[in-house]
Amino acid sequence: MNIVMGWHCFKGVLIREFLRFVQQRSRFLSALVRPLLWLVVFAAGFRAALGISIIQPYDTYITYETYIAPGLCCMILLFNGMQSSLSMVYDREMGSMRVLLMSPLPRPYLLLCKMIATALISLTQVYAFLFIALMVDVEPPVIGYLSVLPALVLVALLLSSLGLFLSTQIKQLENFAGIMNFVIFPMFFLSSALYPLWKMQEASDWLYWICMINPFTHAVELVRFALYTQLNTDALMITAGTTLLFTLLAVTGFRPQKTGR
């Protein structure tokens, strides 16, 4: 494989995913409406329960809306990663995935192109959400919009690789909804996306430790710190390691001798 072939392959996969995204306007709207509901409507109830301000790990008092905004960014990435899983299952049943995997290019590279394309499309939705969140006084530092970009890319790749791995385990499209609900909701609610970890520990030690072993928690913390121009080294290492693990599992799962495809 040379650079020109690799670039044409990546461009083809990216354009295909972008056209699919553009043709599914409801997908973009739902990706924005879902976190905005949490931010605007449900935040009022949580703020009443938790207090008007809460303390971040870096000793800054912020509103609840500002606290959960990074978690809601990760929610967008999570749902898009699972959406990519659905598209992989659909492509497999329709036969287009077989055509892609028959390419002379290495299979790991093809799957990496799919992951990166999904991640780039997810980033457009995240930044659209952050722009709209300005209207409800979610105002991170201006430089934070740039410093958070590497963290968002890494988390998007993590959740895309998780989606690819799950698509190797889902044999029929009809089973998708049940498996996704089993994955999405525990990952999201058993994390620090909506509640500070110290509040979770006050409520229950075992819930706190479940949150701590949830990779989505560390993904959220990585984005939360990066949005405010700080680096959470532990979250970075855990998120990077988990991304590598799920990428390897996804590539292994698409080996013909294992999948029979």
Integer-rounded Cα radius of gyration of the chain: 19
CB 105 within 8 A of CB 11: no
- Scan for tokens 């409800």, then name that residue: 136
Residues in CB range of 256: below 8 A, 6 or more apart: none
The stretch 174-203 carries a mean pLDDT of: 80
CB 89 within 8 A of CB 176: yes
pLDDT tens profile 116-141: 888 888 898 899 889 888 887 788 88
| In the predicted structure, residue 52 carries a pLDDT above the cut 90 | no
Give the lowest-confidence range in 87-96, 105-114, 218-227: 87-96
Tell me phi and psi for residue 103, to 5 degrees. -60, 145
Among 20, 153, 147, CA closest to 86: 20
Amino acid at position 215, single letter: P
| In the predicted structure, residue 16 carries a pLDDT above the cut 70 | yes
Give the Å distances, CA to CA, from 187 to 48, 54, 153, 252, 256: 24, 23, 19, 23, 30
Any bridge partners for residue 63, and if so which? 53
C-alpha 160/C-alpha 172 separation (Å) is 19
| In the predicted structure, residue 256 carries a pLDDT above the cut 50 | no
Among 21, 68, 25, CA closest to 49: 68
Which segment, 34-38, 92-96, 220-224, is predicted with the most confidence on average? Answer: 220-224
Domain ranges of the chain: 3-259
